[in-house]
Amino acid sequence: MNRAFVTDRGDAGRRLDLVLRRHLAAVDSATRTRLQAWIGAGRVSVNGRAVLRVAARAALGDRVVVALPDERPRQVMTAERLPLTVVYEDDWLLAIDKPAGIVVHPAFRNTTGTVMNALLWRARSWPPGTRPSIVGRLDKLTSGLVVVAKTSAMHAALQRALGAADAVKDYLAIVYGRVARARGRIELRLAKDRRDRRRVVASTTEGAPSLTRYERLAGIAAPKAGLAVLRCSLATGRPHQIRVHLAASGWPIVGDPLYGEPRWNLVVDPALAELLRGFPRQALHACRTAFVHPMTRARVEIEVPPPSDFEQLVRATGLPSL
């Protein structure tokens, strides 16, 4: 279904997404995030031409057409009795150690069997007014810490706490390549790939400012590819940030299906090459978080060791044990 309108003086000079919000206020699905996605997907045209830039400005008398996508009925999330490894819990929040291969939140292709389904089961006995909500998400193939709020107010408070300058969000990654510097910073902007909306691309000029700090924990020659274990600390929390930043720096994560490279075929040792080729996921683990508790004001520090597949890969490659 198309929605069309002509811009007036109240629209002149405003960003296109803001203009759309004004004219589509009665459309429940027209959140700012969704509008920006519609623009990026080419669903919005101005004077007959598709506009792909959210920051494009409207002029007086522009004819704007929006091709609204068909709305799918929202499915109610169901509680499922699934295993959860809870590593921290109090009256306001909890943290779990998520295995690789488990989706965090139900989506079109994964409506059941997710972390959220399991949390709803756990929350059946919680007091009235509480409901789990996940603060930040891990990719399906990334293992490690996920923080969960028990109320909407705590969700907002935890977002602020985890976004504070003194908060810690550390990951371990096994990467290809020779990382010459013991530690450093990767400051590249990140934006959705216009040719493939599943991917994120790094740029020095376009996208959201993003910063990843890294420390080399171990490295071996692994002729002719090189291998290293890095500790990565997020200063910003963009989707796919560590995976894209490392790949853009020449250190793709072993097993990454989206941003990785088949550098296992450069490894001289055939047994090691086969092991690297067969690793079934990106070798990335969310190992540690620390923040000031929004209610108690005490500093909370939570750490989980890498899972067995990660540790086995480290040992088999000859990298020093973590």
Length of the chain in residues, anyone? 322
Q: Which residues contact 287 (CB under 8 A, 6 or more apart)?
A: 144, 145, 170, 171, 172, 231, 303, 304, 305, 306
Coil vs helix vs strand at 164: coil
CB atoms within 10 A of CB 277: 14
Catalytic choice (139, 170, 256, 309): 139
Coil vs helix vs strand at 184: strand
CB atoms within 10 A of CB 69: 13
Q: Is 70 a catalytic residue?
A: no
From the centroid of its chain, how far is CA 267? 30
Distances (CA, A) of 73 to 2, 29, 68, 257: 19, 11, 15, 31
Query: Among 182, 291, 200, 202, which Cα is nearest to 248's?
Result: 202
Query: Among 107, 46, 38, 48, which Cα is nearest to 68's?
Result: 38
Task: Tokens 């910073």: give the residue.
Answer: 185
Measure the CA–CA gap between 277 and 197, rounded to whole angstroms: 26
Residues with catalytic function: 139
